[in-house]
């Protein structure tokens, strides 16, 4: 019995001391742990994941930007930021900044970039303001704008592009993300007219598509030509109406445009001037037209005006 009391006397204080040690109040740490540290994960040089705070504070998008884009953003504030991602390296790199630090953790086929400190927003304030403006512009542009990477995959588009895509017939939607099928180009910018079947296969709308090759892909923008097409059709219908009306006139009619070229003539003009259709069809200038009439003796030679003692005389 004495032994049992002795055991309890030793064990109970020990257990009580252990419980007090576990439940004792913790002293506040000198450096509080940062919450929601902005972080970006790169895989094979492309942004694979990023925290919400990183996406909100930096002009980047998952899958659309790479290491070079982040380098261009940060190098004005962190001159030692590596220009390329060393995918096979391991270890860490810390870059000191004005009130904020960047920690780069290298790992296999990628890297993790961490932003420590509370002043990264103030350091990048001009860039963030520019990003805000650019986002507003892209969202409110009335015409589609999009970007393809070097492999031809769609990596970004604005709201107008998405709205136009919704107008495609379901049967023609191949889910590839491409609205316009354009041939590949060797280099430089170019503009092409492309027609797109919208809402039903029988209705086409024409667009002027311009592309600009970049180092990491190609930017495109498309402008609807529906108003221009309608104006061209109205002009063509008007000319056809004039041609039909003038075709029945017995007097010769020749209409020249602002470039002094023949734009329209009726059959009576051929009969009255003896000028052949082969001469009139290439749209001669007004000077060539009158010279030909003089050669056919359908028009007198211009009179020569000579200066005299008492003034001008013919």
| 104 contact partners, CB below 8 Å, separation of at least 6 | 82, 92, 93, 94, 95, 111, 112, 113, 114
Please give the sequence-ordered ranges of beta strands (E in DSSP) within the chain, or none if there are none: 39-43, 46-50, 91-96, 100-107, 110-117, 145-149, 154-157, 190-197, 204-214, 217-224, 254-256, 262-265, 306-308, 311-313
Domain-wise residue ranges, the chain: 39-128, 141-224, 240-295
Greatest pairwise CA separation for the chain in angstroms:
160
Q: Is 201 exposed, middle or buried (0-12, 13-18, 19+ CB in 10 A)?
A: exposed
When the pLDDT of each residue in the chain is averaged and rounded to a whole number, the result is 76
User: What stretch of H or E contains 238?
Assistant: helix 226-246
At 155 the pLDDT is 82
Instruction: Give the model's pLDDT for residue 136.
Output: 77
> Taking residues 176-188, what's their average pLDDT?
61
Position 7 scores a pLDDT of: 52
Q: What is the pLDDT of residue 285?
A: 94
Q: Residue 32: pLDDT band by 50, 70, 90 thresholds?
A: very low
pLDDT band at residue 182, thresholds of 50, 70 and 90?
Answer: low
pLDDT tens string 96-122: 877 678 999 988 888 999 988 745 455
Sheet of strand 190-197, all strands in order from the earlier edge strand to the far edge? 154-157, 145-149, 217-224, 204-214, 190-197
CA distances from 148 to 178, 190, 191 (A): 9, 16, 16
In tens, the pLDDT along 270-302 reads 888 888 889 998 999 999 999 998 888 877 877
**What pLDDT does 2 receive?**
55
What is the structure's pLDDT at 288? 92
Fold classification of 141-224 is Beta-Lactamase (3.30.450)
Q: Which of 314, 265, 313, 312 is nearest to 293 (CA)?
A: 265
Q: Tens digits of per-residue pLDDT, 131-178?
A: 677 777 777 788 898 888 888 888 888 888 888 888 877 655 544 557
For 36-94, write each residue's pLDDT tens digit.
Answer: 688 999 988 889 999 988 887 787 888 888 898 888 888 888 888 988 877 556 788 88
Quick check: pTM over 0.85? no
Q: How far apart are CA 231 and CA 236, in angstroms?
A: 9
Angle of helix 125-140 relative to helix 159-166, nearest 10 degrees, comes to 30
Decide: 93 and 103 in contact? Cβ < 8 Å: yes
pLDDT digits (tens, 9 = 90+) for 219-270: 898 988 888 888 888 888 887 887 788 788 888 888 899 999 998 888 888 8
């Amino acid at each position: 019995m004495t032994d049992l009391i002795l055991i309890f006397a030793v064990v109970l204080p020990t257990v009580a001391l252990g419980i007090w040690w576990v439940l004792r109040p913790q002293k506040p740490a000198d450096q509080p742990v940062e919450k929601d540290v902005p972080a970006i994960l790169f895989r094979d040089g492309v942004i694979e994941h990023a925290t919400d705070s990183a996406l909100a504070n930096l002009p980047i998008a998952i899958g659309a930007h790479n290491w070079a884009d982040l380098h261009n953003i940060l190098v004005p504030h962190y001159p030692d930021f590596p220009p390329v991602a060393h995918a096979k390296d391991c270890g860490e790199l810390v870059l000191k900044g004005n009130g904020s630090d960047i920690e780069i953790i290298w790992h296999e086929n990628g890297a993790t970039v961490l932003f420590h400190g509370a002043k990264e927003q103030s350091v990048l304030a001009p860039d963030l303001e520019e990003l805000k403006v650019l986002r507003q512009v892209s969202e409110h542009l009335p015409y589609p704008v999009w970007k393809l990477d070097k492999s031809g995959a769609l990596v970004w588009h604005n709201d107008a592009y998405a709205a136009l895509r919704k107008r495609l017939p379901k049967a023609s939607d191949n889910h590839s993300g491409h609205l316009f099928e354009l041939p590949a180009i060797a280099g430089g910018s170019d503009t092409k007219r492309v027609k797109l079947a919208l809402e039903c296969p029988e209705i086409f709308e024409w667009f002027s598509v311009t592309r600009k090759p970049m180092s990491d892909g190609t930017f495109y923008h498309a402008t609807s030509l529906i108003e221009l097409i309608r104006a061209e059709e109205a002009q063509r219908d008007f000319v056809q109406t004039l041609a039909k009306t003038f075709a029945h006139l017995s007097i010769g009619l020749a209409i020249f445009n602002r470039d002094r070229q023949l734009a329209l003539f009726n059959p009576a003009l051929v009969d009255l001037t003896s000028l052949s259709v082969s001469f009139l069809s290439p749209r001669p200038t007004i000077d060539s037209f009158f010279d030909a009439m003089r050669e056919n003796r359908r028009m007198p030679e211009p009179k020569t005006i000579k200066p005299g003692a008492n003034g001008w005389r013919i």
